[in-house]
Amino acid sequence: MPIAVVGIGIVSVSVAVAERSWQALVLAAAIAGFGLAYAAPKLAPVTHFVTSDRFRDTTNPIDHPDRMTPAMVVHAYADPAQNVKSAFSSAQRHGWWEYGNYIGTLASILIVAGLAWTFAAPSIRGRPPVRAIAVTALVFFVLSLGEFSAFAPALWLWHIPTFSWFRIPSRYTIGFTLFGTMAVAAAARDLAGRIVWTPARQLVIGTVCALAVCQLVVVNRAHFRDVFSLPPLDSGFRIMKGTGEPAFDSALSARTPNSPMLRALMRGQAVLYCDESLQLTRGADSARPLVWSDERSKISSIVFTPNRVQFSAVGGFEPSRVYLNQNYAAGWRSTAGPVLLDPRDGGRPYVQLAPGQTGRFAFSFMPPGLVPGTIVLVVALVTSRLLWHRHLPAVTVGRAIADSSMTGGMLFSARAEHASRLLLLASVVCAIATRIIVVAGEQQTKLANLALISFSATFVLSLVSHTAIAGLLACTYVAPLFISRLWVNNATAYQVFLSAGLVGVMLPRWSPRHWALPVPWRVPLVGWALAVAATWPIVAAREVDFHPESAALLTKPVSNLGLPAWMAVVFTTDSAAVLILSVLWLDWLFTTFGGDRRTFTRTIIVPLLASGTAACAVATYQLLNDMSFMNEGWRPLGRAAGTMLDANALGMIALLCSCGCVACTNWRSLWSRIIAIVIVAFTSTAIWASGSRTALIAGLAAFAWIVGSAIQYGETPPSPWAVRRRRTTIAQVVVVSVVMGAALYALKDTGPARRLGWIVPSASADAVGGFLKETLWNRAGYGTAAAEMIRKNPCPVMVGDYLSHLRRPLAPDNAQNWVRHHLAELGLVGSLAWMAWAVAIVVWAARRRTSLADRRSAVSIVSALAGILVISQVGMPTQNPAVALTCWTFLFWYVLVRSPGDTTIAARSAVAPWWGWGLASAFVIVSTIGTWMVGATTLQVPMRAREAGRPYEYGFSSAHLTPSGDVFRWAPQHAVTVVAAPTRVVKLTVWTNRQDIATHPVQARVWHENHVVIDTVLHDHQPVTAYVVVDREPRWLMVRTYFDRVVPPNALELGLAVQWTFVDADPGDAGGAHVVAAR
């Protein structure tokens, strides 16, 4: 990999500088990114392995200087007699296989000539790329020379992560030959255009090349002589089949002839020791079987298959341990219980059996990082498919011609639309992947499989037909229950299923070029989503203190409610994914169903109504028959959740389905009326069963609006029977109202009736005023908390971040008001986009006061949306992804009914003004900078802990004592602690015990809050001291340290020693100075 990185990097930088263009850098970044993504299933587990505390590096140290002399260079490329045992110089530090790269004398001369020609030729075809290739070849040649001087480039690379593992510089000869050959090809192509090629010349050149190739074949084949002369294997194997219980072979040596390790593995023997330099810390015992116990239980029937060991256990009368006789690495799981590590003898993995626990159990191994790596690979493959055969704008002839007829503003708008679509798609995919990765244990695997299955199924079906979305939508409201019961015990897991499914459905018919949203909505909506896409990674990284490489930080509490970091990241990614997917979903609806109401109703609305009816039917059963039926969480409250697992969300869905059923029903058909009455009966009962007061009030208001509209407008056009029909309608409404009133009286002790009784004020002005203040402003403390957040953080914070700033005794919840919640999370600056979109919606609705061909449908749809709007003033219904998806769908439906012209191809093809995209870009930049600034200062996790007066710490070791008895702690490269300060003055002292400190000085920095109090380079073991004054309430000390060395977890004594001592007075304080430092 280092060779590829160096090659691609130097070529791209050289071309970019020569052509003064960024395309080469973008292409190089894409190649590197996709290369890493394609290799992620292997790179992620390997990275986790080499950075874990179980990693054991047994590589032999290299003698220095490691270099190639001129004689070694000549022998490496042109000596046909070289072999693996060759030795040509006392500077040789390795076997000759690390140096030899025979290409022959002719090829060596051609490479030198080709490099010279590319630089000497006055004009050469494709000059910048050709000379970039030549420069790269020369860089590789210089790197392959190794430590030939104190300023050798190979020495510089050893200080760069990843390249420091590439320890033998002579391996760069591979890169030199590859790029040298390309330079020869470029020079030959240039010469071919300058020479008159007669048949004789062609024959001579062809003969010379053929002879050179034959000479390479003859010389190199000698290295393979007698290599494949070993006898065949004496046993075979079956794919994914084990060999029973393998025996341990501790005496086998890998250095003996006849491939002993391979043959032992084929015979079912486990090789205990090998010569591989990258090893696990050894804890296996060759004297014990593969699975054994501490004699308090009996083990039998051990069966080994790849990555899985099955065994039978009979538990005793006391708890017992069952050990797996393997060198432990993270990733082992067991069906008998959690896999623990006994630290004795290098670490032995085991499970704890309860007394009498008996059965058939198994140990299984899944490398950490394999699932996230596979997700990254799938995302990369899908992205590659979308980008296949796409070109950069500057080199695409067709696009260049099209752009030449566009003004500068139009061109900017087109590129902004293209870039914004790709960014939002990439962001939502990353949000889903991050949400899966931060969940630990078995749930991670199950969520990843759920996402892959959902995405793959919908993607394949959508390739066949755009109506495949109907299947996903038919599962929308019933998926929460079934996924939590049958797949993973997590009430929010269905969001992964829904999000991945939506991405899979939209991708095959998704255009990366242009938005189809109405032009007045386009910039505000997309700007809102772009701000979220740009800032959610900052907030997610902030919750782990900008150290995502440390998995231990995910379990640290980061909020005043005690929520761990992984949960805060989940809230952030879920909220971001819901918003971004909503915008992409709305745009996809305009693209796919613009002007086609019939297909839209059949493909989108009918499946949603079917799923909603099923959810409401379950809620009806829970209300009338058994409230505990699949409703454990809400049964104590007397509220039904149906299949939504959330009673409030069920109420919203029931309201939307009621209005949607009225809107799409053909009331002239008897069967349609019967089906509609049944659906409305179920949904109305579900509204009551959910116990949602806001859903009940909004439902009654929507019912009144729809009925009032039907009575007021009657039939269109009017008929002679219009008056009689209106009277009949009024009579039906009276009957329905009486029936509903009787039903409500009969159910006065259920549903929201009981909850309404708690809040109805007494008949006094003070009581009514207090009721309105509590209902519309305080909201049990959540509204007050949101107002405080808005006051403190006018800059962007982030969606999903509200819970991180709540204080006890409040329980985790939202701000109980959509507007206030988003102001609290996004700040005043970050809310400009959705405010602009709200204004655009109002203006759009006001300008379209035309007569409606289908007034009943329009009134029903807008009644549902108005109900959600009213409820959003006292709640956050659209936090639920299913409710949010339905609301955006209804918004498109309303546009399709009220203003079909806004969904036509001509309307969708219009381009938003360039200045709008300019404002959106500025808004995204300001939001990103604001989020980064507050995230890195006032809202960083340690600072929030300090302001709240609660402890927070990572990195520091346990307490140690100096020879004088003072307490100190070891710190690795990064460490933070927040502790209570009994006094105002704190003495901070740092030092290091590294033995090489005199020859390799290290930098040490210490911050108190955001103030640097120590910034020094340590040249010896003498301590450095500073005094800090804690001058703010609450009186807590926040210390952050940095040490410019990577410290292994098992060798913290090589890190920075930090000591903080609380003193009564500051000996260096003069005039109330904040910090005084002294050596």
How far is Cα of residue 865 from the mean position of the Cα atoms in its chain?
A: 32
The model's pLDDT over 525-538, given as tens digits with 9 standing for 90+, comes to 999 999 999 999 99
Question: Which CATH topology does 247-365 take?
Answer: Immunoglobulin-like (2.60.40)
Query: How high is the pLDDT of residue 261?
Result: 77
Per-residue confidence (pLDDT) for residue 608, from 0 to 100: 93
**Cis ω on the peptide bond leading into residue 1034 (within 30° of 0)?**
yes
Q: Which has the higher per-residue pLDDT, 710 or 619?
A: 619
Q: Is the pLDDT of residue 313 over 70?
A: yes
pLDDT band at 970 (very low <50, low <70, confident <90, very high): very high
pLDDT of residue 392: 47
pLDDT grade for 159, boundaries at 50, 70 and 90: low
Query: What pLDDT does 396 receive?
Result: 34
Class of domain 949-1078: mainly beta
CB atoms within 10 A of CB 195: 9
What value does the mean pLDDT take over residues 144-173? Answer: 74
How high is the pLDDT of residue 394? 44
Q: By C-alpha distance, which of 522, 82, 53, 123 is closest to 330?
A: 53
Of 268-282, 756-770, 957-971, which gets the smallest average pLDDT?
756-770
Q: Report d(CA 44, CA 37) in Å as an integer.
A: 10
> What H or E segment, with its residue span, contains residue 321?
strand 320-324
- The helix or strand, by DSSP H or E, that contains position 989, with its residue range, turns out to be strand 985-991
Of the listed ranges 174-183, 271-280, 644-653, the least confidently predicted one is: 271-280
- Res. 883 pLDDT band, cuts 50 70 90: very high
- Residue 758's pLDDT is 46
Mean pLDDT to the nearest integer, 861-890: 87
H/E/C letters for each residue in 139-189? HHHHHHCECCCCCCHHHHHCCCCCHHHCCCHHHHHHHHHHHHHHHHHHHHH
Note whether 794 and 828 are within 8 A (CB). Answer: yes
- The reported pLDDT for the residue numbered 1071 is 37
Predicted TM-score (pTM) of the model is: 0.65
Percent of the chain with pLDDT over 90: 18
546 vs 753, residue with greater confidence: 546
Q: If you average pLDDT over residues 134-149, what whole number do you get?
A: 84
pLDDT band at 235 (very low <50, low <70, confident <90, very high): low
pLDDT of amino acid 907? 60
Q: What confidence category does residue 902 fall into, taking pLDDT thresholds of 50, 70 and 90?
A: low
pLDDT at 987: 93
Which sequence spans correspond to the domains of the chain? Answer: 2-224, 247-365, 765-827, 949-1078
Mean pLDDT of the residues in the chain = 79
The pLDDT tens digits of the residues spanning 818-863 come to 777 777 777 777 788 888 888 988 888 877 654 455 677 888 888 8
Q: Is the pLDDT of residue 777 over 60?
A: no
Mean pLDDT, residues 70-85 taken together:
82
Q: What is the pLDDT of residue 995?
A: 85
Lowest mean pLDDT among 214-218, 241-245, 277-281, 879-883: 241-245
Find the mean pLDDT for residues 677-682.
88
List all residues 6 or more positions away from 622 whose beta carbon is below 8 Å from its beta carbon. Answer: 629, 630, 631, 640, 641, 642, 689
pLDDT exceeds cutoff 70 at 721:
no
Nearest Cα neighbor of 662 from 893, 458, 473 is: 893
Residue 167 has pLDDT above 50, yes or no: yes
Per-residue confidence (pLDDT) for residue 715, from 0 to 100: 46
- Name the pLDDT band for 126 (thresholds 50, 70, 90): low
pLDDT tens-digit profile of 914-964? 888 888 888 888 888 888 888 888 888 999 899 888 899 999 999 999 888
